[in-house]
Amino acid sequence: MKEEYDFAALLACRITTLMREKDRDLTLRQLAVLLICCTSKQPWTVKGLAIRLMIPTPSITRAVDHLERAGLVKRGDNPDDWRSVLVTITPDGKRYAARFFGGYEAGRRKVIE
């Protein structure tokens, strides 16, 4: 049980640290969208992200707007449906997400040892 608590505390610390950086003030929702895009090999539609996160589509649209302004994701045409767009992570977004995963992994190893 203590190990589970340590992992949860570590994860909370990593999320809080990255969300509140001076240049990237991300909400938890925005961070969730970014991490989903980072861990997926395929781009996501806004509707697909909304279904995955079980939140309203307009909320995802606002999150993607913010992430796009920050240069972490980009929108592109959807060749299968001209009414929707595809959301993909940018190289800057990958670097940002890598800092999250890297810090988490390093901390997790420290907790296990």
pLDDT tens, position by position, for the chain (113 residues)? Answer: 455 556 667 667 766 766 666 566 788 899 899 989 988 889 999 999 999 999 999 999 999 999 999 999 999 999 999 889 999 999 999 888 887 766 545 544 454 44
Q: For the chain, which residues make up each domain, given as ranges?
A: 2-112
pTM: 0.74
DSSP single-letter state for residue 39: T
Q: Which residues pair with 91 in a beta bridge?
A: none
CATH placement of domain 2-112: 1.10.10.10
Question: For residue 88, which of 48, 57, 53 has the smallest C-alpha distance?
Answer: 48
